[in-house]
Amino acid sequence: MFVTYVLLICAILTEVTATSLLPRTAGFTQPWPTVAVLASYALSFFLLAQVVKTLPIGIAYAIWAGLGTLAVLAIGVSVLHQSLTAWQFGGVLLVIVGVVLINLGGKVH
């Protein structure tokens, strides 16, 4: 199961990389950033497909989407200097709580 979670973290990191690079593609008109984005998304989905062989899709996707969203938001605020309102911060907290509750809910068959 440890390997599954390592693969899931790798899937999240590659998805976050792809999403963070999207602005550099300039609407997919810049070739190298576009290739990097598409390759990163492809690798991310490949890794996620490996994860769901052993982890239920609902749990895997909740973790993938939740942590990915948080990571992209953190990059947007810290690296891309995007602003974050109090309401948006509250929404981020709800995402964190949701991912934690899903994982505390126990094993799903």
Confidence grade of residue 6 (pLDDT, cut at 50, 70, 90): very high
pTM strictly above 0.95: no
Domain limits, the chain: 2-104
Residues 6+ apart with CB under 8 A from 41: 14, 15, 18
The CB-based long-range contact list for 101-107 (8 Å cut-off, 24+ gap) reads 102/58, 102/59, 102/62, 102/63, 103/59, 103/62, 103/63
pLDDT for the residue numbered 46: 98
pLDDT for the residue numbered 58: 85
What number of other Cβ atoms are within 10 A of residue 79's Cβ? 9
pLDDT over 80 at 22, yes or no: yes
**CA separation for the pair 45, 40 (Å, rounded):** 9
What is the number of H-type helices and E-type strands within the chain?
4, 0
Strand segments, DSSP code E, in the chain are none
pLDDT over 60 at 97, yes or no: yes
Confidence grade of residue 109 (pLDDT, cut at 50, 70, 90): very low
pLDDT for the residue numbered 107: 63
> pLDDT digit string (tens) for 23-74?
999 999 999 999 999 999 999 999 999 999 999 998 898 888 888 988 988 9
**CA separation for the pair 24, 60 (Å, rounded):** 28
